[in-house]
């Protein structure tokens, strides 16, 4: 898989913290953050999920000139597509070597991991796929490892 360059920016961190309702000044107030134990603004623990913004091919972002599967005039912009529950996120794990900071320019390299299947009463056959992403900084130092597990279900998850 191609490497993605991920510049970490203060505004992006501020917006990310807002979206999770985290008012901790260490995510948005440079002066307060400087006086804190962190010594400056850092990114929240799950911020690296926003690496998707820097993947030119990311499949869950609408792109000009391409049909989008969400609704527009009709319930889906792709005609004749069978109803699908799509993929869901099953697990996410991070190992931190150091916090991410504004000014970091990370390189993210993702490799496929294990694949396994399981039967479930609520959604039929489940297929799990692991992806492991290593994040290195501008000096080539490993700063974080992310391991995500996605699941595709045979049918939408029963809410009963």
Using CB under 8 A, list all residues that contact another protein.
12, 15-16, 18-22, 24, 26, 36-38, 42, 44-46, 49-50, 52-53, 55, 58, 60-62, 69-71, 75-76, 81, 83-86, 88-96, 98-99, 147, 155-157, 159
For the bound state, the minimum distance from the C-beta of residue 87 to another protein, rounded and expressed in Å, comes to 9
Q: Which is nearer to another protein, 50 or 107 (CB)?
A: 50
Please give the structure tokens belonging to residue 11: 């505004």
Cβ neighbours for 14, distance < 8 A, ≥ 6 positions apart: 27, 28
Q: Quick one: residue 2, left, alpha or beta (phi over 0 = left, psi -120 to 50 = alpha)?
A: beta
For the bound state, the minimum distance from the C-beta of residue 157 to another protein, rounded and expressed in Å, comes to 7
Q: Which is nearer to another protein, 84 or 111 (CB)?
A: 84
**Residue 145: enclosing H or E segment and its boundaries?**
strand 142-153
Q: Which is nearer to another protein, 80 or 140 (CB)?
A: 80
Of 40, 55, 73, nearest to 1 by C-alpha is: 55
Of 150, 149, 146, nearest to 6 by C-alpha is: 146
How many alpha carbons fall within 13 Å on the CB side of residue 123?
17
For the bound state, the minimum distance from the C-beta of residue 91 to another protein, rounded and expressed in Å, comes to 5
Please give the structure tokens belonging to residue 36: 């804190």
Q: Which is nearer to another protein, 76 or 107 (CB)?
A: 76
For the bound state, the minimum distance from the C-beta of residue 155 to another protein, rounded and expressed in Å, comes to 8
Q: Which is nearer to another protein, 6 or 136 (CB)?
A: 6
For the bound state, the minimum distance from the C-beta of residue 139 to another protein, rounded and expressed in Å, comes to 18
């Amino acid at each position: 898989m191609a490497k993605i360059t991920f510049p970490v920016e203060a505004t992006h961190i501020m917006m990310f913290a807002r979206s999770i309702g985290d008012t901790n000044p260490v995510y948005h107030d440079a002066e307060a953050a400087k006086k804190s134990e962190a010594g400056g603004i850092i990114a929240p623990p799950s911020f690296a999920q926003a690496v998707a913004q820097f993947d030119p091919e990311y499949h869950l972002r609408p792109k000009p000139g391409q049909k989008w599967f969400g609704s527009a005039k009709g319930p889906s912009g792709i005609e004749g597509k069978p109803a699908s529950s799509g993929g869901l996120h099953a697990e996410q794990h991070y190992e931190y070597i150091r916090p991410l900071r504004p000014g970091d320019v990370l390189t993210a390299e993702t490799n496929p991991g294990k694949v396994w299947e399981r039967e479930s009463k609520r959604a039929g056959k489940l297929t799990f796929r692991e992806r492991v992403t290593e994040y290195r900084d501008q000096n080539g130092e490993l700063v974080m490892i992310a391991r995500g597990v996605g699941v595709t279900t045979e049918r939408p998850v029963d809410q009963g």
